[in-house]
Amino acid sequence: MSNKGRVKVGIIGSQFQADIHAESFRIMPDEAEVVAVASPTPGNAEKLAKKYGIPRVFTDYKKMLAEDDIEMVTITAPNYLHAQMTIDIANAGKQVVCEKPMCMTLEEADLMIETCRRKGVLLMFAEELFFTPKYVRAKQMADEGAFGKVYLVKQSEKHFGPHAPWFWDVELSGGGVLMDMGCHGIAFCYWFLDRPEIKNVYCQMSTHVHSDKTKGEDNSICILEFANGAVGLVEDSWARRGGMDDCIEVYGEGGVTYGNLHMGNALPTYSEYGYGYAVEKAPTTQCWTYPVFEEIWNYGFPQELHHFARCVRGKEEPKVTGEDGRIVQEVLYAAYKSAGTGRKIELPFRPEGIKKPIDLWLNEKS
């Protein structure tokens, strides 16, 4: 394996997030190059490979892991596969980039961290909000003291539901919107406040519009109390119409800032006839829409993957790791339990033998 030149990357998966990873490496090509993609459905890996000029394709990701020159592998497969894939990648001696949420259970999170440590490879947790330019700017201002002592951080992400069927199947996803998108907000509040200890979690969730397709919640509100006295508020929805909405609010005794990820990067537009594409998950391009520009850049994906490639070369230290993913996982457990019982759940919270976080809600409900 070479320790010089661009990091050679393999991608597992070929659809939504795989495309974003491939596009991100294309946008920032100086540190890494995608040399292989693996995806089980015949033809799918080829399609992504053709779009981005990726030379090698596999239907079995384990065959891709046998390629000597591949140094870093990114996982863009459904959540229930993340743990086994991470372990296989680490056992092949390659560096791991794992998409959010990290896995299904805390036992898996521990095993992923432990295996990567034992094999001497990095476990980089792909939480792009740590790299989202607008949100990074808010954190820089907070770190410079702009808001004084920060007492409340809010993050919310909302749209009308995910694009692929497996997200709706809680056996494969582990939960509904909290698992899918609340994991971003939990990580965000924790990072923004400089990773203080989390004291307890309170959560309310319900299924308002999608009970025909899922046992999962399609709306959730989650409150985290930190040991430094600050509060995190994480609001997520798969029931909100009109395309993607992603916002933060930061309140301190000395100031406040608001960030709307899409509105500051959009052109308020009216079109009688429609056009190609507006923004992630927008159902239409007719009438009033808010088409974004540089969408992937504004989310922070290229910057995130560029950073991870630099970490592989020892040029930077990972800003987001498996340990962060594990803490998010514990908060997810506590949040589902809280929603089920109607109580605040104190951390540490580590029930044994849970198969997936949402069971802590579903079991209490039934």
- Under the binding rule (CB under 6 A), the answer on residue 292 touching ligand NAD is no
Task: Select from 164, 256, 263, 267 the one that contacts ligand NAD (CB under 6 A).
Answer: 164
Helix axis angle, 322-341 to 106-119, nearest 10°: 170
Beta bridge partners of 7: 32
Task: Select from 10, 24, 32, 44 the one that contacts ligand NAD (CB under 6 A).
Answer: 44
Task: Select from 77, 193, 278, 347 the one that contacts ligand NAD (CB under 6 A).
Answer: 77
C-beta separation of 95 from 68 below 8 A = no
Q: Which is nearer to ligand NAD, 147 or 190 (CB)?
A: 190
Q: Which is nearer to ligand NAD, 49 or 150 (CB)?
A: 49
C-beta separation of 310 from 331 below 8 A = no
- Rg of the chain over Cα atoms, rounded to whole angstroms, equals 20
Contacts of residue 44, defined as CB under 8 A and 6 or more positions apart, other chains included, come to 14, 15
Which region, left, alpha or beta, applies to residue 290 given φ > 0 means left and ψ of -120 to 50 means alpha? beta
- Under the binding rule (CB under 6 A), the answer on residue 12 touching ligand NAD is yes
**Torsion of the alpha carbons at 126, 129, 132 and 136, rounded to the nearest 10:** -120
- Under the binding rule (CB under 6 A), the answer on residue 41 touching ligand NAD is yes
Query: Please, what is the minimum distance in Å from the beta carbon of residue 100 to ligand NAD?
Result: 5
Query: Please, what is the minimum distance in Å from the beta carbon of residue 38 to ligand NAD?
Result: 6
- Under the binding rule (CB under 6 A), the answer on residue 76 touching ligand NAD is yes
Q: Which stretch binds ligand NAD (CB under 6 A): 3-11, 38-46, 106-114, 321-329?
A: 38-46
Cis before 101 (ω within 30): yes
- Under the binding rule (CB under 6 A), the answer on residue 99 touching ligand NAD is yes
Q: Provide the binding-site residues for ligand NAD, judged by CB under 6 A.
A: 12-18, 38-41, 44, 61, 76-79, 81, 99-100, 126, 128, 164, 166
